[in-house]
Amino acid sequence: MLLPGLSAAEKLAVLPELTDPAEFHMVDDRLYITDGFSFFIYSQKDHKLIKKYGRKGEGPGEFMLVGGNTLMLTIDPGHLIVNSYGRITHFTKEGVYLNEKRIKTVARYLLPIGNLWVGLNYKRENKTLYHYINIYDSTFNVVKTIHKHRHGLQIGTDIPFNPLTVSPPALKVYKNKIFMLDGARETLYVLNAKGETLFSLTDKDEPRQFTTENKNNYLDQLLPDPFWKRLYATRKPLFRFPSYYPRIDWFYIDRARGTIYLRTNHRNDGETKYLVFGPDGQFIKTVRLPSCPGSQCLAAFFNGSFYRLKENEDEDVWELHVTGLEKGKGD
């Protein structure tokens, strides 16, 4: 049944060049998608491939990845920035190589904000590993720490952990603001370029219960991964599943309107609850959209519509789908 305020999901195009996409962005009249050691640029008008760039290597414009990480693409005003192992590479928005910076910092994800950078770092203190969100200067020295969170998975210890919150805090930068989803997945913080909190957002409804059925389904998705299969076989007593899901699963920014979308863990009948906020944090409405939880969700909001990359397993291709959101008041 189609919910009020939504248009039917529509398949816009098949993107045959993709094999294992990892990130998906929509800016102006372009779609930007990372896949392996490359990124792809498509036209939003006809969804045709404009350019593919990148390959494995250590030369100019080539990329290296370690530890299961993927290319991380940032659309900065005027150009593209690609984070890969040990370097940051700049391109024009048309995918023309400009330059690159070799970096020695252990920061995993560096985003430009004015003349500074904000990024995620790891550091061990008294045998405990922590995530840090730092602001860095132009030579990648730490200027300020704006967030510290105990790493969810303390390898080599007997510290129990919640498998639902082992991911690091999530970062985005938009219009000189830092958007940071905390490691517990409870609150989205919006900060200025100095690292000062402007406002925070969360789902104020009662969190969704995490049942035994949810646990079994979660393990069914988790354990095919060799790392988690081995860890569960050897360290099963350390897995401590929660009574409730985190309040926030992920967040998005509509780069055409500045609207903020919080994807919650409230899911029912193949749909997920999203909270919609204005650029200054004012609540707008609640909508329900096709579910694509966790790492399976390659999605973006642009100009009031929900775009999703969806794998067609029968035909072994990736497709671009869209669901329109109509204007309406909040619940």
Report domain extents, the chain: 209-243, 248-325
Higher pLDDT, 143 or 1: 143
Per-residue model confidence (pLDDT) at position 327: 41
Percent of the chain with pLDDT over 70: 93
Per-residue model confidence (pLDDT) at position 326: 60
The rounded distance, in Å, linking the Cα atoms of 68 and 108 is: 12
Per-residue model confidence (pLDDT) at position 8: 60
Higher pLDDT, 282 or 94: 282
pLDDT at 6 exceeding the cut of 60 = no
Other CB atoms within 10 A of residue 110 CB: 22
Higher pLDDT, 244 or 150: 244
Q: Across the chain, what does the average pLDDT equal?
A: 88
Phi, psi of 170 (to 5 degrees): -100, 140
Per-residue model confidence (pLDDT) at position 106: 60
- Specify whether the CB–CB gap between 164 and 245 falls below 8 A: yes
Per-residue model confidence (pLDDT) at position 331: 41
> Which pLDDT band holds residue 107 (cuts at 50, 70, 90)?
low
Question: Dihedral of CA 260/288/219/243: which sign?
Answer: positive
Token pair 């993709």 is found at 18
Lowest-confidence pick of 104-108, 158-162, 194-198, 324-328: 324-328
Per-residue model confidence (pLDDT) at position 232: 92
Percent of the chain with pLDDT over 90: 56
Higher pLDDT, 201 or 235: 201
- Counting Cα atoms < 13 Å in the Cβ hemisphere of 79 gives 14
- Specify whether the CB–CB gap between 9 and 323 falls below 8 A: yes
pLDDT at 3 exceeding the cut of 60 = no
Lowest-confidence pick of 57-66, 95-104, 238-247, 261-270: 57-66
pLDDT at 21 exceeding the cut of 80 = yes
The reported pTM is 0.91
pLDDT at 294 exceeding the cut of 70 = no
> Which pLDDT band holds residue 101 (cuts at 50, 70, 90)?
confident
Q: Please return the burial class of 311, using the count of CB atoms within 10 Å of its CB with bins 0-12, 13-18 and 19+.
A: middle
- Tell me which H or E stretch contains 219: helix 212-222
Per-residue model confidence (pLDDT) at position 330: 37
pLDDT in tens, 118-138: 998 888 888 888 889 999 998
Strand order in the sheet with 298-302: 10-14, 317-324, 305-312, 298-302
Name the residue type at position 292: C
- Specify whether the CB–CB gap between 12 and 322 falls below 8 A: yes
The rounded distance, in Å, linking the Cα atoms of 185 and 202 is: 9
